[in-house]
Amino acid sequence: MQTLSQLRSGELAGISQLKLSENLSTFPLEILTLADTLEVLDLSHNALSSLPDELAQLSKLKIIFASQNNFTHLPEVLGKLPKLEMVGFKSNQITQVAQESLPAQLRWLILTDNLIETLPNSLGERPRLQKLALAGNQLTQLPTTLAQAHNLELVRISANQLSQCPEQLLNLPKLAWFAFAGNPFSQVKCTNDNNSDTSSVPQLPSTSYTLKEVLGQGASGVISKAHWNTPQTQFPEAIAVKVFKGEVTSDGYPQDELQACLQVGYHPNLVQSLAQVNEEGYLALIMSLIPEPYQNLGLPPCFNSCTRDTFAQDFSLPITLISNIVKQMQDVFTHLHSKQVCHGDLYAHNTLFDKQGNIIFGDFGAATRYQMLTAAQQHKIQQIEQRALKHFIEDLLSICAKEDKESAAFYTLQNLIE
């Protein structure tokens, strides 16, 4: 992170990326001195409510972040930036998005956790649009023009006020990662069938365990190692606990994540849910502790890859291991959809593996239960997630060991994709 004093002194001349967080209430016009080089501008965690028309001078700007500020509308000047392709205004108080505010080259739009009720038709008229994050707003409908967004691959519309399933999204040819829980149309009615009854999962008090060291955290909560406060006969001794943050995340409501986890039930390649904690102001999931030899299979997408996973430099796997991983993920896919749960985030970076190629798949933050949809809609949801599985296999083949790329097993997996 840089400082405003560095910018004013000329110390930052010629930089391509700038990040300022100094409780700014007005846009520092000194930023315009970087017009010839600036490509990434991050003004998150300030007190800004507007951007000046002079911002249009940043003709090389590709990415702008202004999350956690005081904007009530998406600035129209953004639409005047010729190369701008990524816009992130998460956690403001935005109620209005004008047609003119969406840049022509828009590829990635993040408006999570705002107060937006409607979106302009111009959103569907941005042919490069790949990633759309709208969770945690007040949307009652989506533009019908999104049916034209043929390059759209990832959509988050959870935690809104949509009363009908947006059919214009279900038919998109490239959509592969879709989260839509927490809307009126996606509410699950209580029934006695196996797919929707999560009440049989034990509920325990938070006093039954003590949290130890943190193992990791994501948008929806913090996962810690834990130990039982009293001896247990019903559950394994080694456990981890995910404590949800209790607020809307980039994927939706924590309660929806918890219910999806419980509905999925047991599978040997899934993080095993043991019990739930549902107390006032405290929501948690008790899980089996994953053995130490497991490591992350992939890394999350970057700005350039947008929706596709990345991998550590020089990381590769033999085709035998890849084939074993794919077989297990196919089985996980079948299990999830037999339980009528769309994971919404089927990625290598949400997958752990060991040296033998055994996998454990998790992170249900974007998961959605979909038994409330019609049979035709359910089929389209399965097709969407099938594309994510296809990309998962493609990404693994991209890191296949060089000596295995002419093997029969490699071509078998390629044919599977096709």
- The architecture that CATH gives domain 206-288 is 2-Layer Sandwich (3.30)
Structure tokens belonging to residue 29: 């016009």
Question: Measured between alpha carbons, how far is 363 from 351 in angstroms, rounded to an integer?
Answer: 9
From the list 74, 65, 130, 81, the residue with the least C-alpha distance to 99 is: 74
- pTM of the full predicted structure? 0.93
pLDDT tens per residue, range 183-207: 999 998 755 454 545 556 789 999 9
Residue 7 has pLDDT above 70, yes or no: yes
Residues 6+ apart with CB under 8 A from 106: 84, 85, 87, 126, 128, 129
Residue 403 has pLDDT above 60, yes or no: yes
Over residues 51-66, mean pLDDT: 98
pLDDT at position 307: 96
pLDDT tens per residue, range 323-349: 999 999 999 999 999 999 999 999 999
**Residue 62 annotated as lining a ligand binding site:** no
pLDDT at position 218: 77
Q: Virtual CA dihedral for 102, 104, 106, 112, nearest 10 degrees? A: 10
Cβ atoms 73, 51 nearer than 8 A: no
pLDDT at position 194: 45
Pick from 84-88, 277-281, 329-333, 403-407: least confident: 277-281
pLDDT at position 15: 97
Q: Which CATH class is domain 295-417?
A: mainly alpha
pLDDT at position 192: 47
Cβ atoms 268, 255 nearer than 8 A: no
Percent of the chain exceeding pLDDT 90 equals 87
Helices (H), 159-202: 167-170
How much of the chain is in helix, strand and coil states, percent to nearest 5? 30, 20, 55
Pick from 7-11, 69-73, 155-159, 254-258: least confident: 254-258
Q: How confident is the model at residue 249 (pLDDT cuts 50, 70, 90)?
A: confident
The CATH code of the domain at 4-186 is: 3.80.10.10
- For the chain, the structural domain boundaries read 4-186, 206-288, 295-417
DSSP string, 245-283: -SS--SS--HHHHHHHHHHH---TTBPPEEEEEEETTEE
In angstroms and rounded to an integer, the radius of gyration of the C-alpha atoms of the chain is 23
Enumerate long-range contacts of 299-306, CB under 8 Å, 24 or more apart: 299/349, 300/347, 300/349, 303/63, 303/86, 306/107, 306/108, 306/130, 306/131, 306/153
DSSP secondary-structure letter at 190? P
